[in-house]
Structure 1
Amino acid sequence: ALAIELARRWNGVVINADSMQLYRELSIITARPPAEDLALAPHRLYGVLGAETAFSTGEWLRMMAVELDAVRAEGKLPILVGGTGLYFKALTEGFAEIPEIDPEIRVSCRQLSEDGGIEAVSAALAPLDPVAASTLQDQQRLTRALEVVRSTGKSLSDWQAEAQGAPLVRPEEALRVVLAPPRPWLHARIETRAGMMLSEAGIAEVQALLALGLPDSLPAMRAIGVKEVAEFLSGACDLEDARQRVTIATRQYAKRQETWFRNQMADWIRLDPAASHAPDLAAQLQVM
């Protein structure tokens, strides 16, 4: 809502910086902007990939470079919005191109992630890349760090320290904002979100995704809500249990996300969306 308000005030274009909202098959599950929001301002990079695609941060940066050039050529303001902190870090600090990961190592790391969860991946990563193990909060990113160090012999931290090229957006050139709501407000919205995922439309969306027969290791298959709805569809749990599982998983992710924002985006402007509506927040930013 804030991004749309800023786009309307500043002749802007909203560009997606959320790794899951890239996938066209995941609309309700990822809370991708609905048609009525898309009609309010130009939007780019939403629903542009098939769920069969394993997408990297480097590939997102290459797409983003094209979008930024196009938006600026139109004389408009790019407004990036999303929850993937690593995208913003790479965008403003540069990014190291990492060699292709050995397929066997990738399979073994993702199997470890699937079988043992975030704790198992963190334990395996800690002696090899203690920096990544202590700073990354997302299971997918931790698994990626484990793949990198096992495949290349060099830690993700070292690769990132050798980031190639200038950042696409320099921090001093951008107005950088983190929305930091109080925990009760966030939890209430998470419960509403869980209800949307377990709605008839949300369940149908996951059914269609499962019908593609894709490997569980693909990022789209690991979006919060997919596993939980799949368990409901298989009869492993009832609807209320699935809703609780989605709520818990989303709360855990939100907590890790908050830690990332606090540690990696400490100098960003922090706004409380619970205290003001989007127009009021936009007005605050307009005078900064």
Structure 2
Amino acid sequence: MASTTTRLDQQYGSSVRSVWASVLAAISTAFLRPGSWRDEDVAVFQRQALPVILAGERRIASLTAAYLEQLYRVEDPRAPRVSLDLDAVTGSALRGVDPAEVYERPFVELRTALSKGESLDAAVARGSHRLETIAKTDLQLARTHTVREVSADMPRFTYTVRVLQGEYDCALCMIAATQRYHKRDLAPIHPGCDCLVKTVTADYDPGQVIDEDRLNAIHDAVEAALGTFDRGGRAVDYRKIIIAREHGEIGPVLGYRGQRFTGPDDINIPT
């Protein structure tokens, strides 16, 4: 059974990364192609990029639903097929905001940088980074929303965990990977997060911390890097280092204590 689920994990992860790569390449090209970023260029970009982004979200949602169904059938071969309304987990359903508005923000970022005296190249880089972060966030939201919707109809799945995917992972994700999340809760994310959300079947709730050794190792690394640490009451200490905040559009977001979201300009968290 373990080898089967490992194979499914690998196939799913590879398919998702392929979608990410193709979507990001296409919209980056659309953003950079005109060589200017005026109002008329925004409309052209939106006509080219928004269908690509929506198609990517729907593909991620479909892959995720199929992956969860296959995992569930390992536990229960007689389980019914998954039913998913793609419109409920993609597009404007993800943020409650028109995607056209969301994908105008890279242009705002670029123009703001120019207004502050930055060079054109630096401003374009800022706009490109904002675009990439927004798109990665939406693709990940399509995944987490799908996990929430599909797993609700799978009673044998008890909770979800974060599985690290990248060659390098930020400390936020590394700490979050030592936690469990109730399956009806969206796993907290940060913009650009590519972690896999995996469902777990268990006979009991193990509590919030599921990998105490790794959590301790992360605290050791924090101490080595910063010269300070606090191991007392580990779950409490976890909240001091990393917390989940409700974001008006994208739901729970992993961030450092002190971060606030006051408006669209604050949505792009450095990664």
* TM-score where L is the length of structure 1: 0.26
* TM-score where L is the length of structure 2: 0.27
Flag the structure with more relative contact order, 1 or 2, with Cα contacts below 8 A and sequence separation at least 6. 1
